[in-house]
Structure 1
């Protein structure tokens, strides 16, 4: 075991036990391993433990695939940090000959946030109609994992994070305290070596392990100070997908007030100001009946999709925010698909606005 030469404390006995557990589970069979990574503290601590476990194994008989889901609407500052970290981790793992592979996945084009909202006229998500988490985060990851038989998904889920999380963990318990059933799937098991870690344990893991050097605990700490906590990367159960302090989408309208981005702006991330203004405007625009169809897509009366005029207004506002912030907020292929969907609605007898 290698220790951090610049640290006052050695690696904790809890970390040593977790690393030994990971080594044992890794070596016992050929089942494929996938690690859900968001860049947040828990997934970073988990990746740290797996990295150190693999360092001590002589013969690596299978890869561990680290998956990050780029929803397209991540807070740009955090998304850049995560992608830079992954790039550094790839180099570090290659130099150390570790069987770590990294996969950045994206939602299908028609499932992306702005294609849904601006192209199809989906109202931005609410607590009642929260369509975003599955399409943007869960499904892209499941698309990589589910085709593999008897796969093991490593997640940084912990007891003590919240009452709701504790209930979910207990509901999906198995005979092993480190394994959870994965919703309705019988092919996949969730493995969490940090399930009994406290918040203090997590930060200790990040601070006192010398490897991987690509994960900077002080930088993660600064991001949390600026932004908040993280959203899930692999989940089937119902419940609140993200905490009040979020480490996720800058477009999130599930919460009435986005304290995370507001806090980041207050802490010097001025380029997020236009995004914050756009998101707040979108919350109000969503509920304006003037720009909502009075017929749903199934033909029944009721509050339906955002009108074509309303979608044009949203796209114009978004492109303005992109220009002012100098951040890439929407891809060209998304804009092209949006215009295709508008044409489909214009030419469809089934689409009715009033």
Structure 2
């Protein structure tokens, strides 16, 4: 009620953002009039865990109907990366090696920028985030660095917007209690969410507190993530019956090794420096063939038509670029051909 700045709530489908959204909707339902809009934003990178993506999209549809009936001023938006910033366009089209801790190009391009494009339309806004103290020492330092004198508020990196963190001091037990013991809104299904966390290798912390750790150390994210050594979350989900993820997990493990194969890496970078450069055209073709095979076997759509078209355009661009140099004069030139789109 303090100002007219619009609210934007970052939602991932996880426990913290779900608890935050539930609290906001409960609070709104207690008001008699509204003077600002609230927009809930989910960023679909295109390589999210498909089980979680399906859950989020269904939750969004249910929430839209529930909030509409209650006349609550909440909008729901899906943010997506620009075509050239999408994972497979970068990796298969441009030849980017998959992300590492040293070269973590994915977060800004695939998550932060798409959300910023929606928020930055407004000169000032309040961004609600489900961040909590005690999750990690690095996060605690970041929260402390940007905190403002007014409790629960901090300054965003751009300094245009302020961050509002209502659950900053919630324990894991508080989060699950909020989800489980508030029946409203019904669209946020605590039982379903709890099942997803358990299937990902987590224990339900309503009954057991794990200080300073996320729920069972499981976090939902991109199924292609090669920043972590092992994706324990998807491994555990496969063990618990999500067999459709098996082919995706195998691809992820394969490409984590393939990116370091010098046989398929240029000896010169795009800036002209000598050193391990982009994945070669031949290597990119190998990845595409592998991905299309995974798509066919899993029955999950992994590559959009517009992404495939853009990939082929980027291949042609490199073939015509005199400054694009692969390893040796004996490197094979890849013939760019059209791959049929497998039935889904």
TM-score if structure 2 supplies the norm length?
0.90
Out of 118, 130, 141, the residue aligned to residue 115 of structure 2 is: 141
Q: Which of 2, 11, 15 is residue 41 of structure 1 equivalent to?
A: 15
1:150 shift after superposition: 1.5
2:2 corresponds to:
28
Q: Does 1:224 align with 2:225?
A: no
| 1:256 alignment counterpart | 229
Query: Gaps spanning 5+ residues in structure 1: where?
Result: 1-26, 230-242
1:60 aligns with 2:23: no
**Where do residues 73-84 of structure 1 align in structure 2 (5 Å cutoff)?**
73-84=47-58
The corresponding residue for 1:316 is: 289
Residue 67 of structure 1 aligns to a residue whose secondary structure is strand
Counterpart CA distance in 1 for 2:63 and 2:309 is: 34
Give the aligned CA root-mean-square deviation in angstroms. 1.2
Question: Is the CA contact (8 Å cut-off) linking 1:228 and 1:247 kept in structure 2?
Answer: no
- 1:234 corresponds in structure 2 to none
Aligned equivalents of 2:109, 2:200: Cα separation in 1: 23
- Aligned structure 1 segments of 4 or more residues deviating by more than 6 angstroms: none
> Following TM superposition, by how much is the alpha carbon of 1:130 offset from its aligned partner in structure 2, in angstroms?
0.6
**TM-score (norm. length: structure 1):** 0.87
Match of 1:158 in 2: 132
Name the structure 1 match of 2:334: none
Aligned partner of 1:181 among 141, 149, 155:
155
**What is the distance in 1 between the residues matched to 2:95 and 2:219?**
25
**Post-superposition offset of 1:48:** 0.4
Shift of 1:71: 0.3
Shift of 1:228: 6.4
1:299-322 Cα shifts (integer Å, max 9, x gaps):
111000000000000000000000
**Paired residues, what number?**
314
1:105 aligns with 2:79: yes
Paired position in structure 2 for 1:271: 244
SS of corresponding position for 1:263: helix
Q: Secondary structure at the match of 1:91?
A: helix
Which whole-Å CA distance do the structure 1 matches of 2:8 and 2:292 have between them?
Answer: 36
Instruction: Check 1:41–1:142 CA distance in 2 against 1; reply closer, same or farther (3 A cut).
Output: same
Query: For residue 14 of structure 1, what is the aligned residue in structure 2?
Result: none
CA–CA distance in structure 2, aligned partners of residues 67 and 45 of structure 1: 15
- The whole-number CA distance in structure 2 between the counterparts of 1:161 and 1:318 is 35
- Aligned residues of 1:244 and 1:255 also touching (Cα < 8 A): no
Could you give the per-residue CA deviations for residues 21-76 of structure 1, whole angstroms, max 9, x where no partner exists? xxxxxx12110110000010000000001001110111111110000000000010
